[in-house]
């Protein structure tokens, strides 16, 4: 348990020392993905928020609103996942990727289970 407490203390210290720099880098993350057909390009920010949407004029050759909407949504999901992974990579030197992923996913059970495991407990 002492080793885990030391590990948590070290992680906290690194976050204090590097936190602002890492936060600034993470906040600046942008990810762009292009649809498989090359007609839609989506750029999102670090939290998956839409920054830019580009539609190739060739989309008007096939006027299928449902297909276009699905293509935009799928491309935006891929861009958001790319941005998320970049943010995880930025923080990985101080927070293990699997821990951070569980936190971002809101997976409280996994976060608490890892905490308990680290303390030698288990649930």
Tokens of 76: 């935006």
Question: Following CA atoms 8, 99, 21, 44 in sequence, which dihedral angle do they give, to the nearest 10 degrees?
Answer: -170
| Cα–Cα distance, 97 to 72 (Å, whole number) | 28
Percent of the chain scored above 70 by pLDDT? Answer: 93
Res 51 pLDDT > 50: yes
Q: Does this model's pTM top 0.85? A: no
Percent of the chain scored above 90 by pLDDT? Answer: 53
pLDDT, tens digit, for every residue of 101-116?
A: 988 888 888 878 877 7
The pLDDT, as a whole number, for residue 4 is 64
Domain assignments of the chain as residue spans, ordered by start: 2-8+22-118
Q: Indicate the fold that domain 2-8+22-118 takes in CATH.
A: Ybab; Chain: A; (3.30.1310)
The pLDDT, as a whole number, for residue 123 is 47
Secondary structure E strands in the chain? 30-34, 40-45, 50-55
């Amino acid at each position: 348990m002492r080793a885990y407490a030391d590990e948590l203390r070290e992680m906290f210290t690194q976050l204090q020392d590097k936190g602002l720099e890492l936060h600034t880098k993470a906040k600046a993350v942008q990810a762009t993905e292009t649809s498989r057909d090359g007609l839609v390009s989506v750029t999102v920010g670090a939290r998956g928020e839409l920054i830019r949407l580009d539609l190739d004029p060739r989309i008007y050759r096939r006027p299928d609103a449902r297909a276009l909407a699905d293509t935009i949504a799928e491309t935006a999901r891929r861009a958001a996942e790319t941005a998320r992974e970049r943010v995880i990579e930025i923080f990985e030197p101080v927070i293990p990727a699997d821990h951070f992923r569980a936190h971002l996913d809101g997976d409280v059970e996994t976060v608490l289970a890892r905490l308990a495991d680290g303390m030698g407990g288990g649930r």
